[in-house]
Amino acid sequence: MAPKTNPGNFFEDFAPGRKLVHAVPRTITEGECALYIGLYGDRFPLHSSAEYARSLGYERETVNDLLVFHTVFGKTVNDVSLNAVANLGYADVRFLAPVYPGDTLRSVSEVLGKKENKSGQNGVVWVRTVGTNQRDERVLEYVRWVMVNKRDTGTPTHADDKPTLPKQVEPAQLSVPKCLDLARYETWPSGGGAFFDDYAVGEVIDHVDGMTIEEVDHTLATRLYQNTAKVHFDAHAAKNTRFGKRLIYGGHIISVARALSFNGLENTLGILAWNGGTHANPTFAGDTIYARSEVLAKAELPGRTDLGALRLRLVAIKNADPTKEGVTLKVEKDGSQSYHPNVVLDLDYWVSMPKKR
């Protein structure tokens, strides 16, 4: 009799070009949006106030960009990363259309390539995922790579077809919602006084606040996103890993850092794209996260004179206050540059920001 349960895909099961149609579409509710605020304390007004959102041309308050990402991502876990060691990074992440409470999201992925690690125990798999709404409109598209365990560690696969990925999302590829109208834009809902014009390339913004991650926080978050990866859920199995305990979902760190970045980037209207991202070091319950941003570039947006795009480097640091303790991005280790052990996230992304009138 065929087994009824799904053990998930192992490294050997992935083949370039394979299409993965992920189960369990998800309708995003107002409750989930409120719970997201409860998890991260996110304060960006476009996701908090229906009246503010309508004043800018939207139907109502929008679902937080990262809640959209986590939901689309969560659908993929059962097929892509159920047997993962760790999620490693992202590229070519593009937010393509606003999502509203009541919209239903689904995900489909395609395997781009894979490479077996020298240890023979596991390997890295690259996939491109597309998230669509109930009208089959693309709302999100991204590439990620993940380290996946092998089923048979004694048999080499010799797989080595790592794909070539774009180094950045070009400004011409950034998608600004057509409905966005800044004719009635006011600053008091965000409380911020800085506009696109006020940020300088090379400027570093320390976001001041810190947030300690509790065990219940990341557990509730991964359940909300239906992210079933064993490394986040199964404490008993995690005892046999090199860390001896559960890992915090990397997306949880992104949401914490993004929420902390409100202090200094209050007038940000939305995430347009990620050029790339790295989960530099693991995070565990009890760690405290701080964040800082560096302005990498500024760009004009096609067809818009009222707002521009800021390219930011969002760095999350654990257990060290960057305003008081010197934490460099990288340190020298064994003759090469490696991430500082307190750096847990290095995210290069584009946001939209109003210009001064």
R_g (Cα) of the chain, nearest Å: 20
- State the pLDDT at residue 141: 97
Within the chain, what is the greatest distance between any pair of CA atoms?
Answer: 69
Closest CA to 180 of 70, 276, 95: 95
The structure's pTM equals 0.94
Please give the chain's pLDDT, 357 residues, in tens. Answer: 667 888 889 999 999 999 999 999 999 999 999 999 999 999 999 999 999 999 999 999 999 999 999 999 999 999 998 888 888 889 999 999 999 999 999 999 999 999 999 999 999 999 999 999 999 999 999 999 999 999 999 999 999 999 999 999 999 999 999 999 999 999 999 999 999 999 999 999 999 999 999 999 999 999 999 988 888 888 898 888 888 999 999 999 999 999 999 999 999 999 999 999 899 999 999 999 999 999 999 999 988 999 999 999 999 999 999 888 889 999 988 888 999 999 999 999 999 999 998
State the angle between helix axes of 215-224 and 250-260 in degrees (0 to 180), rounded to the nearest 10: 110
- Residue 339 pairs in a beta bridge with 330
Query: What is the DSSP secondary-structure string of 188-253?
Result: TTTT----GGG--TT-EEEEEEEEEPPHHHHHHHHHHTT---HHHH-HHHHTTSSSSSPPPPHHHH
- State the pLDDT at residue 326: 84
Give the strand pairing for 26-27 and 104-116.
antiparallel
